[in-house]
Amino acid sequence: MSESAVLYAAEGGVATLTMNRPEVLNALNNDLLAGLSAGLARAKADDTVRAVLLTGAGRGFCAGADLAANAGIPGPRDVSQGLRERYHPIILAMRQFPKPIVGAVNGVAAGAGMSIALACDIVLAGESASFLQAFTRIGLVPDCGSTWFLPRMVGDVRARALVMLADKISAADALQYGLVWKVYADDKLLPEALATAQKMAQMPTRAYDLIKQGLAVSSGNGLGDQLEVEALLQGLAMATEDHKEGVTAFLQKRPAQFKGR
């Protein structure tokens, strides 16, 4: 595995993962996929890391599967297995990641690269970023969670149009559709994304983990079941040191100092 396909830097509670194949807009080959998996595992294991920032080097965020590298895949069965073995673990790891993930979409996010952007907890974009469900342009179907994320994020009408028409949409449209949280001037994106991640790294990390667990099951649950999930999660949140600190700080009229425990 090439160490440089994904750059890893941890500072101030934030691990920054930078997809680093700028010459192909960070298209996903096995090195980059392995680098993402390794970077996520490293950030998860490091107790000093309490938030992750994911971005791309150069002018792209991620152009999806490397079509040149994948051109040699012999048949559909191998593609399915490749998705299961190399792509799905990343999407699931992101959604099950016990710390928040901020995505800084600095350029085009296409195909599986758009799915990866959508798997982040907070998606921020530069004003020249774009989003492309590229799959049908090459006779494929959306993968890596796009058919799961999109209807939930933008509704059925827009989800169908995005995946079937495969038009590249601007960051402004993505904001209007609810695919991203905020759009910044290109030169402000990374500093703003880092500030967001740093702020989240000071927040109650265990509560974030529990929130992600609750949101993960909400769309499959009825209200009664989800109320029960919330009750269980709240019991766990209430047992954390950060909850005690939050209440103590409130009563003492001072800012809380959360430790992520």
Residues of the shown chain interacting with ligand LHQ in the complex, contacts defined by CB under 6 A? 24-25, 27, 63-68, 70, 79, 82-83, 108, 110-112, 132, 134-135, 137-138, 140, 143
Residue 86 CB, nearest approach to ligand LHQ (Å): 8
The neighbour count for residue 164, using CB atoms within 10 Å, is 12
Decide whether 60 or 246 has the Cβ nearer to ligand LHQ: 60
Decide whether 67 or 164 has the Cβ nearer to ligand LHQ: 67
Decide whether 138 or 238 has the Cβ nearer to ligand LHQ: 138
Nearest to 36 by CA among 78, 89, 83: 89
Contact criterion met (CB below 8 Å) for 16 and 55:
yes
Decide whether 68 or 232 has the Cβ nearer to ligand LHQ: 68
Secondary structure letter of residue 118 according to DSSP: H
Contact criterion met (CB below 8 Å) for 221 and 259:
no
Decide whether 82 or 98 has the Cβ nearer to ligand LHQ: 82
Residue 206 CB, nearest approach to ligand LHQ (Å): 34
Q: Which residues of 112-146 are buried (b: 16+ CB within 10 A; e: fewer)?
A: bbbbbbbbbbbbbbbeebbbbbbbeeeeeebbbbb
Helices (H), the chain: 30-45, 67-70, 76-82, 88-95, 112-119, 146-154, 156-165, 171-177, 186-201, 205-218, 223-238, 241-251
Decide whether 24 or 236 has the Cβ nearer to ligand LHQ: 24
Radius of gyration for the alpha carbons in the chain, expressed in angstroms and rounded: 19
Residue 143 CB, nearest approach to ligand LHQ (Å): 5
Residue 95 CB, nearest approach to ligand LHQ (Å): 18
Residue 244 CB, nearest approach to ligand LHQ (Å): 45
Residue 94 CB, nearest approach to ligand LHQ (Å): 16
Nearest to 259 by CA among 206, 183, 194: 206
